[in-house]
Structure 1
Amino acid sequence: MFYWVMKHIVVGPILLSIFRPWVVGLQHIPANGPVILASNHLSFIDSIFLPLVVDRPVVFLAKSEYFTGKGLKGWATRMFFQAAGQLPIDRSGGKASEASLDTGLRVLAAGSILGIYPEGTRSPDGRLYRGRTGVARMVLESGAPVVPVAMIGTEHVMPIGTRLPKVRRIGIIIGEPLDFSRFEGLEGDRFVLRSVTDELVRDLQQLSDQEYVDVYASSVKEQRASQSR
């Protein structure tokens, strides 16, 4: 109920009127049942605007740090992410990754829409980076349809490192559902997982028209961080 009020009465109408997002392909999202929305990731606001334009609630898996902050700022951040329908996950790897997968599968088993970023993190420079195979495991284990989504221009509205968004129009392109049923039962095969992930990222590249870089975005961020020390 809190999510519905924030989206339809409080936050949603204000943000939509200010940023006036244009949307293509909403009809590709099934009206009911589990769905995976697999999106490129350019900005913090991607997780805000995609749910606003979709008629059904969309659940994103957000890093747990957003829910554990102290003081007034921590409370405000936690309330915001809860209102946006996001769930906390531990991204430290290993068993934490398995727990994240289980959380996503529970969302899908409940017949809900799960939003996920195949790149695993925001693009550091607006280019599209190599996908993580966790999204493929989610697709194959759940059997849910996967719908590719391209966020357009959100990196110019709120680049990494900024606190306040600039008022600019953004776009959202929703592609046709992808069919990976030919790989049913092969979610334990790492070559299949890589094939599914690469096919999905290729589709995202065609929708977004981003330059593709065949390395992980997280590796680029780590390299830049080490060079700046």
Structure 2
Amino acid sequence: MYRHLYPLIRCVARLLFLLFGGYSVRGGSHIPCRGGCVIAPNHISDIDAVAISLACSRPAWYMAKAALFKTPYLRSIMPFFQAFPVERDRVDRAALREAARRLMEGDIVVVFPEGQDSPDGSLQTLRPGAAMLSLKCGVPLVPILISGTSRIMPVGSFVPGMLRAKTVLSVGRPIDPATMPIHLSLREKRSCLTRRLSDELTELSQPARGAGVRST
């Protein structure tokens, strides 16, 4: 049902972010129109997952921290929004298998590679899960730099505040896992791809980067 309602849900998200202060999407065409891909955004607010819909024209699956599924209300609605739990304090093989299955079926999977909200908005050390999925499934890794959401709904808040701020999503070019040097081991490729993702997210944070701006 979510897939059928996604255009409406996306319209509602756009209206909400207009009320919060507007939004712009830079490089939205970098998100593949078809086929599996891993979207790897930075994480500065609990509304980042909603913000992703501003740039993503087709519904995505979301890896979400398992703690959210322990709240009765959220546990009942998270599956509707195509979210599935992942344990952050260990390698969650069940979550990785679920993500890989969705990717191989041609879907988008959103993985926040920092593993948690950034307490100060700066990019934290990335975990290797997003890169590992990209390599395992042979799908592109798409970096997205989100800004502004932490002012609308700071870390630790349960609802948006009164502060208005513009949300900006800067989408980087897809990283093809096949470009990793073939002489490297799988672990080395994973580390190399994670470093490249971190570098891309850092570069996207520079104001001059990003053509094709759609602003509202």
Question: Quick one: distance in 1 between partners of 2:160 and 2:127?
Answer: 28
Aligned with 1:61 (options 53, 60, 63)? 63
State the Cα distance separating 1:184 from its structure 2 match.
7.7
Q: Tell me which residue corresponds to 2:99.
A: 104
Equivalence map 1:1-229=2 (5 Å): 1-2=1-2, 4-5=4-5, 8=8, 11-19=12-20, 20-69=22-71, 74-75=72-73, 77-94=74-91, 97-166=92-161, 167-183=164-180, 189-209=186-206
Distance 1:6 1:110 in 2: 18
Q: TM-score, normalising length from structure 1?
A: 0.79
Q: CA deviation at 1:13?
A: 4.8
1:6/1:108 Cα in 2 relative to 1: closer, same or farther (>3 Å)?
Answer: closer
Q: CA deviation at 1:186?
A: 7.8
Q: Is the 8 A contact 1:62 1:89 kept in 2?
A: yes
Question: TM-score, structure 2 length as denominator?
Answer: 0.83
Do the aligned partners of residues 15 and 192 (structure 1) sit closer, same or farther apart at CA in structure 2, a change above 3 Å counting?
Answer: same
Identity of aligned residues (%): 31
1:53 aligns to what SS in structure 2? coil
- Runs of 4 or more above 6 Å deviation: 184-187
- How many pairs does the alignment contain? 203
Q: CA deviation at 1:197?
A: 0.4
| 5+ long unaligned stretches in structure 1 | 211-229
Cα pair 1:187 1:193 within 8 Å, conserved = no
Identify unmatched segments of 5+ residues in structure 2: 208-216
Q: What amino acid is the match of 1:35? A: C
Cα distance in 2 for residues equivalent to 1:157 and 1:149:
18
C-alpha distance 184-87 of structure 1, shift in aligned 2 (>3 A): farther
Deviation string 1:49-84 (CA, Å, 9 cap, x unpaired) is 102431100111112222232xxxx22x23443343
Query: Residues 35-54 of structure 1: CA distance to partner in whole angstroms, max 9, x if unpaired?
Result: 11111111111111102431
Secondary structure (helix, strand or coil) at the match of 2:78 reads helix
Structure with larger RCO (C-alpha < 8 A, sep 6+): 2
Contact 1:141 1:187 (8 Å CA) reproduced: no
Letter in 2 for 1:178: I
Deviations 1:99-156 (A, max 9, x none): 2221210110110001111211111111111111122211110100111101011111
Q: Which moved more, 1:105-114 or 1:60-69?
A: 60-69
The answer as to whether partners of 1:153 and 1:170 remain within 8 angstroms in 2 is yes
